[in-house]
């Protein structure tokens, strides 16, 4: 039996409910936690404070994954192809710096991989990729009602109209990476 090689990726691609739902379906992903990072105010922020756009934080997820099952590069490719990395501070109707596309790297290898993935994928987008690549700062776990949001609220309008289509796209583009595949 192979020992797990757990690693952490921290990414933000708009609303964390969407990004969380995507990664919960990926083979090798052990845990996905919604939260906030990248801000400039001391102390743990609240959802309301982050939504104000005044904290500098982005809505992000921390993805704990087994690198023996899925690579960090694959995690980033899935991330970059399940949101629009070409829109600055916006995903769909969600607007503000808290919805920016961002990869927070945990070490120099992740930084190099992030830049490589962005460069490789840029040829597939008509507009330039604006995804920020920055060193991870403090990660603050979001309030409990934001964890497992899609699983707990699938009938809610935002879930039906925004998250479900992202999951359809995920299943089409990355069928071989799904837990159910």
In tens, the pLDDT along 5-31 reads: 999 999 999 999 999 999 999 999 999
Q: If DSSP states are collapsed to H, E and C, what string results for the chain?
A: CCCCCEEEEEEEECCHHHHHHHHCCECCEEEEEEEEECCCCCCCCCHHHHHCCCCCCEEEEEEEEECCCCCHHHHHHHHHHCCCCCCCCEECCEECHHHCEEEEECCHHHHHHHHHHHHHHHHHCCCCCCCEEEECCCCEECCHHHCCHHHHCCCCHHHHHHHHHHHHHHHHHCHHHECCC
Residues annotated as part of the active site: 15
Q: Is the dihedral of CA 110, 86, 102, 165 positive or negative?
A: negative
- pLDDT tens sequence across 111-160: 999 999 999 999 999 999 999 999 999 999 999 999 999 999 999 988 89
Expressed as residue numbers, the domain containing 140 is: 6-177
pLDDT value, residue 93: 82
Arithmetic mean of pLDDT, 166-171: 93
Torsion angle in degrees (nearest 10) through CA of 169, 171, 174, 176: -170
46 in a structural domain: yes
105 in a structural domain: yes
- pLDDT tens sequence across 44-54: 999 999 999 99
Please check the confidence at residue 2 and state whether its pLDDT lies above 80: no
38 in a structural domain: yes
1 in a structural domain: no
The pairing of beta strand 58-66 with beta strand 29-37: antiparallel
Mean pLDDT of the chain: 95
pLDDT band at 42 (very low <50, low <70, confident <90, very high): confident
108 in a structural domain: yes
58 in a structural domain: yes
State the total domains in the chain.
Answer: 1
Say what the pTM is.
0.95
CATH number at residue 14: 3.30.1060.10
40 in a structural domain: yes
32 in a structural domain: yes
Rounded Cα distance between 99 and 81, Å, is 16
pLDDT value, residue 11: 98
């Amino acid at each position: 039996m192979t020992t797990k090689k757990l690693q952490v990726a921290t990414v933000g691609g708009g609303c964390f409910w969407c990004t969380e739902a995507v990664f919960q379906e990926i083979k090798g992903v052990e845990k996905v936690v919604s939260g906030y990072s990248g801000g400039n105010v001391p102390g743990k922020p609240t959802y309301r404070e982050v939504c104000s756009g005044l904290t500098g934080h982005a809505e992000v997820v921390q993805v704990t994954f087994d690198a023996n099952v899925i690579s960090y590069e694959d995690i980033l490719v899935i991330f970059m192809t399940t949101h629009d990395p070409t829109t600055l501070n916006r995903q769909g109707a969600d607007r503000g710096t808290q919805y920016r596309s961002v990869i927070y790297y945990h070490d120099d290898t992740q930084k190099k991989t992030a830049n490589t993935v962005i460069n490789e994928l840029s040829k597939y987008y008509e507009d330039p990729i604006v995804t920020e690549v920055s060193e991870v700062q403090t990660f603050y776990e979001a309030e409990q009602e934001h964890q497992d949001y899609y699983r707990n609220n699938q009938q809610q309008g935002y879930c039906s109209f925004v998250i479900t289509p992202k999951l359809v796209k995920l299943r089409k583009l990355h069928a071989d990476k799904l837990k159910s595949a």
